Structure 1
Amino acid sequence: MSFWSLSLPLLIRVPLQKGKSLRQNLKEHGLLEDFLKKNPYNPASKYFPNLANDAASEPLTNYMDYYGTISIGTPAQDFTVIFDTGSSNLWVPSVYCSSAACTNHNRFNPSDSSTYEATSQSLSIQYGTGSMTGILGYDTVQVGGIEDTNQIFGLSETEPGSFFYYAPFDGILGLAFPSISSSGATPVFDNMMNEGLVSEDLFSVYLSSDEQSGSFVMFGGIDSSYYSGSLNWIPLSAETYWEITMDSVTMNGETIACSGGCQAIIDTGTSLLAGPSTEVSYQSPTQPNATWFESSQILAQDGKRHQQALQDDNSLKFQPNNYHVPFSPVQESGSCTSGFESIDVDGLWILGDVFIRQYYVVFDRANNQVALASLA
């Protein structure tokens, strides 16, 4: 009898931790009020960079507080990164960066890596909050147990402003499509697929709703123990971001937004849930007390609406592809907020972490679709 072995692609779970939010960090340093005045935030600018300088309707609501650890180079240099389905580039701070934001974060040193290859290409990225410029290089990237060789990534040279200075993570690992990657850099997951490093061309995400550990992104597979019932598959409407078509948004059976259909992006790199300002401030004429579908600032000042929000927390439903998705108010640190912010770009909606963490979500590149399932 002869024996043979086959090296199989890996299915890797990368733990994510829910850290202290940027808002909390700024508040603890007594800088929140001043930051809000000096740094208007437009969530649309992440998806439409030409809007970066437009006035924001509601600043600094993108907390970006779920992050995990990767390593780059030989020997490995460790970095904490946001696994961001709303962008496509991998970048980390580097020793070439002189911005204040780089002084208190881990910085990649190419001279310390025997596998680093330099390029002459530059990189510039604008997010909803914060931006970076730098250069591109190639090296080995370790994500969990996956060794992603010859991966192109950004080495920051500037990280203007104070957003990234107070961020609890070093850099960002984008998980959207190559079509929106700055400078045409191949995204990490595309490189993994091209090198046959994952069992399936998909990844899945579970975000814990409390301060405890347990959140993860799983590359190459699905953990069925985290959801109940079946996966509800929704086709993508564009191969750019993880964009789907929603049929409507209803409250207590009444259509209150997205009438006739609208586009929505499922984005792990955005904390809240964003929609058109006229729709996120909606107050139902037939449900005068069900007004938690408003800004978190209004809710925070109105205890009666707080209580009503808790009572009506199953009344709001998002309907992508005729699949009804109940959505609840956000409860953090003993208080309740709506979890909404405004974004005014052609009726676009952004389904961020407060939405994602109520479901097990699968991002399927092989079939260009996403799946939502109720948590177990």
Structure 2
Amino acid sequence: MLTPLFLLTLVSLTMGYVYKMPLVRVEPQRIQMMREGKWAMALKQMNAERLMRKASAGAVYNQSVLLETGTADFWVPDASCAPPPRIKGCDESECDAGATCKIFCPKVELCCGGPGGMLAERKYTCTGKNVYDPTKSATYVKMEGSWLFEYNNGFVQGLYANDTVRFGTEGEHRLTVPGTGFGRAVRISKYLMNRSSLFTTWHKNHQKNDYFSCPFEDYLRKIVNYFIAVHYNLICVLGPSGIYSRFDGVLGLGFTSLALTETIQPFVRAHRLGLVEPIFTVHMRQVGVADNVYGGAFTWGGIDTENCGNLIAYQEVSLVWFWQFRLRNVSVGSYVSNTGWDVALDTASAFIGAPHSVVKGVAKALDAEYSPEEDAYFVDCDGYPKLQFGIGENIYTVKGDNFKLTLEEYKCILPIYAMDSVFLGPSWIFGAPFMRQYCTIFDMKMFRIGFANSLQEE
């Protein structure tokens, strides 16, 4: 997961600057619950790899946002979605919602149902979130229109705003992007705060414009995307694939052709204003089971030469929609498949998604045991083979330390799940296991993805 924007160092470039931002890694709640023995069988996998950092919009409000290459929209919770401050005297635990309040709270009439009590907070769906308040921002500009995202397990709806967005926390040298349009969520489904989803649907006609001018051959793809969105009034995108409870909003970094709202995501606007080159690098750290620790870095406007080795190769984006490319084959142990697929990179996923037949083949080759109660594959933590992917002319190997999630000393999860492909979309999702092994370079101008060895500490 990532927290609102980020940045660390400045390096001069031909056009703009390079901003490096450290990330905070938050362990997926599913893994935490499984380790504690609290995970019951779930229909949807809660598999978000949370890399967080702080960002702000307008006045000094820091939001922790999920940095998501599987979407292309930016939204944060609005002040109207959160309850007002509690009345003095109602902030004690004895006045929390429920029977406790009516029995133990010294100010029952005031706190147990009034505007200052916990019961009053139940109607608000952004309780505990860092919210955006347009009334306190001198740079806020009103935007007309509304939006609604429907996830498999809930929804988010809201209005638009135009304001200055800053990448990073107060006091840092931050990438500042004025005049940025974004969504301010006024209602968030409670189910979304406690469940996971893979896909998002959008129920509103919208126009498509690419980030930058596309080659002629890409116009057909844009027409197809437009046809899906407008004719069927429905589009699927990768969505927040984990609980909402530990971040405030979502910052999408996908292509504009994937955008569901009528706004331009902040990084694209930063390029249009000449602030950065249209390229960013993701470095994810291998931290084992650690939670709320340094989890890597996002580098805006260039390549991360501190955490990443020499470039291995670039791979062309196969469809200017998701950050997707062609995968030639996969092998592990005795299992090999040369079917060939499209795979999308998703910074918000802690797992690797693959076709059903591949998951079964990989699990069999690794002697993984499937548990219906946990809805997961379990393997011995020691000594299973490396997973190899054929991409372009190169073979990329994901080593065992990156292809397992430890629950107990001798009990590990195989971080892979079976998925159905999206129409014109990917058949695979490469999440944190792949991106911990290799730095990924997202080049929006040249429509390509680069791979470099990740320089991890031994």
* TM-score interval, normalised by the smaller of the two chains: 0.7 to 0.9
CA distance in 1: counterparts of 2:355 and 2:48, whole angstroms:
20
Matched, 1:71 2:56: yes
Shift of 1:253: 7.0
User: What is the TM-score when the length of structure 2 is the normalising length?
Assistant: 0.67
Gaps of 5+ in 2: 1-12, 83-122, 169-173, 195-243
What SS does the corresponding residue of 1:163 show, helix, strand or coil? coil
The CA RMSD measured in Å over matched residues stands at: 2.9
Is the 2:286–2:295 contact (alpha carbons within 8 Å) kept by the matching residues of 1? Answer: no
Partner of 1:152: 181
Partner of 2:147: 123
Partner of 1:270: 349
Shift of 1:344: 1.1
Matched, 1:95 2:79: yes
Structure 1 pair 292/228, CA: closer, same or farther in 2 (3 Å)?
farther
Structure 1 pair 342/28, CA: closer, same or farther in 2 (3 Å)?
closer
What SS does the corresponding residue of 1:102 show, helix, strand or coil? coil
Select 1:19's aligned residue among 26, 34, 55. 26
Matched length: 336
Larger Rg: 2
Partner of 1:54: none
What SS does the corresponding residue of 2:17 show, helix, strand or coil? coil
Gaps of 5+ in 1: 1-5, 41-58
Q: Which moved more, 1:327-336 or 1:155-164?
A: 327-336
What SS does the corresponding residue of 1:228 show, helix, strand or coil? strand
Matched, 1:360 2:439: yes
CA distance in 1: counterparts of 2:356 and 2:278, whole angstroms:
36
Partner of 2:250: 172
Partner of 2:211: none
Structure 1 pair 176/116, CA: closer, same or farther in 2 (3 Å)?
same
Shift of 1:236: 0.4
CA distance in 2: counterparts of 1:167 and 1:227, whole angstroms:
31
Shift of 1:100: 5.0
Matched, 1:82 2:89: no
Matched, 1:207 2:276: no
What SS does the corresponding residue of 1:270 show, helix, strand or coil? coil
Partner of 1:44: none
Shift of 1:197: 0.7
- Spell out, residue by residue over 1:57-111, the C-alpha distance to the aligned partner (whole angstroms, 9 max, x if none): xx223224211110110x2211000111110111011122266541111111110
What SS does the corresponding residue of 1:16 show, helix, strand or coil? strand
CA distance in 1: counterparts of 2:37 and 2:158, whole angstroms:
31
Shift of 1:289: 5.5
- Spell out, residue by residue over 1:24-65, the C-alpha distance to the aligned partner (whole angstroms, 9 max, x if none): 6767999753xx65xx4xxxxxxxxxxxxxxxxxx2232242
Partner of 1:306: 380
Match of 1:321, as an amino acid?
A: G
CA distance in 1: counterparts of 2:16 and 2:416, whole angstroms:
40
Structure 1 pair 171/81, CA: closer, same or farther in 2 (3 Å)?
same
Within a 5 Å distance, the mapping from 1:1-376 to structure 2 comes to 9-23=16-30, 32-33=39-40, 40=43, 59-73=44-58, 75-97=59-81, 100-127=124-151, 130-144=154-168, 145-164=174-193, 167-198=245-276, 200-210=277-287, 211=290, 212-252=293-333, 254-256=335-337, 259-282=338-361, 290-292=366-368, 297=375, 299-300=377-378, 305-307=379-381, 310-314=382-386, 316-327=387-398, 328=400, 329-332=403-406, 334=409, 335-345=411-421, 348-376=427-455
Match of 2:327, as an amino acid?
A: M
CA distance in 2: counterparts of 1:279 and 1:239, whole angstroms:
25
What SS does the corresponding residue of 2:358 show, helix, strand or coil? helix
Match of 2:129, as an amino acid?
A: H
Structure 1 pair 109/339, CA: closer, same or farther in 2 (3 Å)?
same
CA distance in 1: counterparts of 2:36 and 2:124, whole angstroms:
16
Structure 1 pair 163/100, CA: closer, same or farther in 2 (3 Å)?
farther
Is the 2:55–2:167 contact (alpha carbons within 8 Å) kept by the matching residues of 1? Answer: yes
CA distance in 1: counterparts of 2:81 and 2:27, whole angstroms:
25
Shift of 1:353: 1.6
CA distance in 1: counterparts of 2:37 and 2:136, whole angstroms:
38
- Spell out, residue by residue over 1:287-306, the C-alpha distance to the aligned partner (whole angstroms, 9 max, x if none): x6633497885543xxxx41
CA distance in 2: counterparts of 1:232 and 1:322, whole angstroms:
9
CA distance in 1: counterparts of 2:251 and 2:26, whole angstroms:
17
CA distance in 1: counterparts of 2:369 and 2:330, whole angstroms:
11
Shift of 1:153: 0.6
The percentage of aligned residue pairs carrying the same residue is: 23
What SS does the corresponding residue of 2:126 show, helix, strand or coil? helix
CA distance in 1: counterparts of 2:311 and 2:14, whole angstroms:
31
Partner of 2:217: none
Shift of 1:143: 0.8
What SS does the corresponding residue of 1:282 show, helix, strand or coil? helix
